[in-house]
Structure formats: C-alpha cells, structure tokens
Amino acid sequence: MNASRLRPLIAGNWKMNGSRAQTEALIADLRGRAASQPDLADLLVCPPAAYLMQAAKLLDGSAIALGAQDCHTRQSGAHTGDLSAAMLVDCGCRYAILGHSERRADHGETNELVAAKAKAAHEAGLIAIVCVGETEAERDRGATLDVISAQLEGSVPADADAAGLVIAYEPVWAIGTGRTPTPEDVAAVHTHIRSLLKAWFKDGAEMRILYGGSVKASNAATLMHVAEVNGALVGGASLKGEEFWAIALAAAGG
Ligand code: PGA
C-alpha cells in the first residue's frame, strides 16, 4: 500500500491533441464531474499552448489546475516560438510538465536543459513536473535504476522543494503503448526515487511522485496503490472525461 498517502495529483497531458471545441467539451465534462466530488484529488489539465488561455477561462472558479507542457529557460527575450514560465503564470498556469520523454527525444532536451527549465519555472512560481524514465533497451540490460538516478540528478534543481516540484516516472516503452510495468517494478522505481529525494531534500518525503505510461481506468486501481505512487501523469486517457475521472476515483480510493 501507499505508505506516504500524499494527496494524489492526477494530471492530464493532452500532448498535441484537441481543438477549441474539444477543449471546451472536455473541461466542461471534467468540471461537472469534479463539482460532485470536489475533494477527491488534485486535478490538473495540460492542454496544448494554443488553448491555454481558453482553458484558463473555462477553468475559472474551479479547483482544477492548469498546466503547460513545456517552458523556456528565460523569462523573456529573443527566443522565437518559445514561451516563458512567467507568461504561463500570467495565462493562469500553475504547473509545467518538463523533460517529457517526447521532448527529450524530439527536441534533444538534455538533463541540463530540463534543470534550467525547472529553475525558470520555480522562479516564476510554477510547479515543475519533471519527467524521467528508462527506454526498453535500458530496462532489458538492467540499467533502469541507474538511468533514473542519473536523470534525476541532472534534471532536478538543487534548490527544489515539495511545494514546487513533482516527479513523474514514465517508462518510455510504456508511453502510448498499452503496456505497463508490473506493480512490483513500479514499486521498485518509485521507492528508489523516494529514497533519493529524501537524501537530497529536507522535504523529500512530501514530493509527489507520479506514475505515467498507459494509465487508464482499467489499470488505475492497481497502479495508483503501489508504494510511493502519488498520482498519475495521463496521456491518451486524459482526452476522455470518463476515463480521466475513473483514474482520479481509483487514486483517491483505498
Ligand atoms: P499515455 O502517455 O498515458 O498515453 O501512455 C503518458 C504521457 O506521456 O504522459
């Protein structure tokens, strides 16, 4: 069972999906469900940047938080196409997902860059969700815990605290594939992450550690009650209100 029982955070990473109409429909659906059980869990939606302002208006007055999927290392300047953490705060964001494996792969984001982004997020008052996870080849050769240690050490700023940092463990091979690690494997990685956070930070016991990678309604009850799992970073299933809500119910129950 989950020894730490931190309040779960259920975060929806919409990735590059949706439209204005879908943003409106999904948030209306979620607001309706959340209104009936407001204290269930911390809920977060991270739509594409193009829809953040719209989403902020739609979420106004609700407890559902808004997050971005990235931010720049600087707060302003000559960086065409980029968005700063300060701008995201100005648009109503409370969180930013940083160092997602798709950004590490598609945009060559290194641990150093992710750490700099997390620092910028912290300075602007955003909560950073720093993502780590091994590839299938790394798992197969037994390197999972070493890879996770190195990613965490490189991507998490030294002055992080529990109020401003969330870790998401997302095995690369489990993202969007329908495959998930066993509960024992998830427990081994989350327990490892917890021990590092406790060793590095005064409040390391309070930092939330999310699991991500093919979380859906049917496996959420199992995954969300693994030791040291404090919520989920949900991709595909976050685009369906009913699935996302079922994950939140599973995380809150038991
Ligand atoms: P998935 O994505 O739930 O579609 O596997 C998770 C993520 O990439 O955050």
Residue 228 makes CB contacts below 8 A (sequence gap 6+) with: 2, 3, 4, 187, 190, 191, 193, 194, 209
Give the pLDDT confidence score for residue 3 in this predicted structure: 46
**pLDDT tens per residue across all 254 residues of the chain:** 444 589 999 999 999 999 999 999 999 999 999 998 888 899 999 999 999 999 999 999 999 999 999 999 999 999 999 999 999 999 999 999 999 999 999 999 999 999 999 999 999 999 999 999 999 999 999 999 999 999 999 999 999 999 999 999 999 999 999 999 999 999 999 999 999 999 999 999 999 999 999 999 999 999 999 999 999 999 999 999 999 999 999 999 85
100 catalytic per annotation: yes
In single-letter form, the type of residue at position 126 comes to L
Q: What is the CATH number assigned to the segment(s) 3-251?
A: 3.20.20.70
72 catalytic per annotation: no
Ligand 1 pocket mutation pick from 97, 135, 214, 216 by most atoms within 8 angstroms of CB = 214
User: Which protein residues touch ligand 1 with a CB less than 6 Å away?
Assistant: 13, 170, 175-176, 212-215, 233-237
Q: Where are the domains of the chain?
A: 3-251
Residue 105 makes CB contacts below 8 A (sequence gap 6+) with: 172
CA–CA distance from 171 to each of 103, 216, 229, 235 (Å)? 14, 15, 14, 13
Give the pLDDT confidence score for residue 254 in this predicted structure: 53
What's the rounded Cα separation, in Å, for the pair 52 and 184? 37
What is the pTM (predicted TM-score) of this model? 0.97
Report the nearest-CA residue for atom 6 of ligand 1. Answer: 235
pLDDT in tens, 46-97: 999 999 999 999 999 999 999 999 999 999 999 999 999 999 999 999 999 9
Q: Which ranges of the chain does DSSP label H, i.e. alpha helix? A: 20-36, 52-59, 85-90, 101-106, 111-124, 136-140, 144-155, 183-200, 217-224, 241-252
